[in-house]
Homo-oligomer: A and B are copies of this chain.
């Protein structure tokens, strides 16, 4: 039987199942649709768990992710991204739409017109992206009617409106960001209706804002990270350490300078570090420890008081950001009842 060598990403299947179920129950109880973002895990087995628990379909970030999940038996995709629809993208979307329900994001009148020219015959729906405060992509909420109208006039079906409240990734910021998102989405929804169009879906994002979403406004939520949790969610208060289902199993390789050096470098856990992160990663069993220096194959850890874990011992590192950590590996090693088996990260690297 194949076994992994450190550093490798390890999934606690009980915790993963619990995280999936908890979000699904919340959606069921509160009668909103859950469309989890599969960019977090990129793993067909996890998508199946989500769909089996009642998710209405998958959110993905790229055409390539949708193509991979289609090959693994998923049939409803929202590509929550302002896909630039050139001829090649149109062909790929046509192929997807022949076998699955597919929607893409649009965030401008020009983009809507272009998408319509190339996609109108294929049954690809569009969802208007609005900026709810992150200032990344998305039109202003008031413009959503014009964008939707341009799409309709270009022959496309508008499914509704969506946003990603990424500015909720800050301590104490999630509640306010969820409120911002509700306001933006309500404005956008009303603008689309004022343009004479139906709004089937009002879709919100994000794990930190998930518990705070205004369920009077949103009809669908697209959290991703909730399946695993990570040091960002831990430090934001959106995940408890006992819920974190993904760690990097690492080996202590050196005690140089009286510190612990692990083999879980940036090529294993990712280099993401948000302003609110207290280090480059955490240790699951030592809440006081911090990764204070991270290079490609070294994580230097300040473990706080007490003796150093011996060279050769194994520790579980919590990456700052699970989505980018998972995208570094072709396999997740899934632990259940003490046994490890590999799950393929089939959509790894599918950026386009």
Binding site for B on A (CB under 8 A): 4-8, 39, 61-64, 81-84, 86, 88-89, 107-108, 110-111, 114, 131, 135-139, 166, 251-257, 261, 263, 265-268, 270-273, 293, 295-298, 300, 311-312, 321, 323-324, 327-330, 349, 351-352
Contacts and interface: CB of A to CB of B under 8 A. Distances in A.
A244 B15 CA distance: 45
13 contacts: A39-B296, A84-B312, A108-B254, A108-B255, A135-B257, A136-B295, A137-B254, A137-B261, A138-B256, A139-B256, A266-B324, A267-B351, A271-B272
Contacts of A5: 63-64, 88-89, 352
Contacts of A311: 84, 108, 110-111
Contacts of A6: 352
Nearest to A323: B296
B83 A136 contact: no
Contacts of A300: 135-136
Q: A-B pairs with the 6 shortest C-beta distances?
A: A5-B352, A271-B271, A137-B254, A271-B272, A137-B256, A268-B351
A96 to B, nearest CB: 14
Number of copies: 2
Contacts of A261: 82, 136-137
Contacts of A312: 84, 86, 114
B324 A349 contact: no
Contacts of A254: 82, 107-108, 111, 137
A136 B293 contact: yes
A174 to B, nearest CB: 17
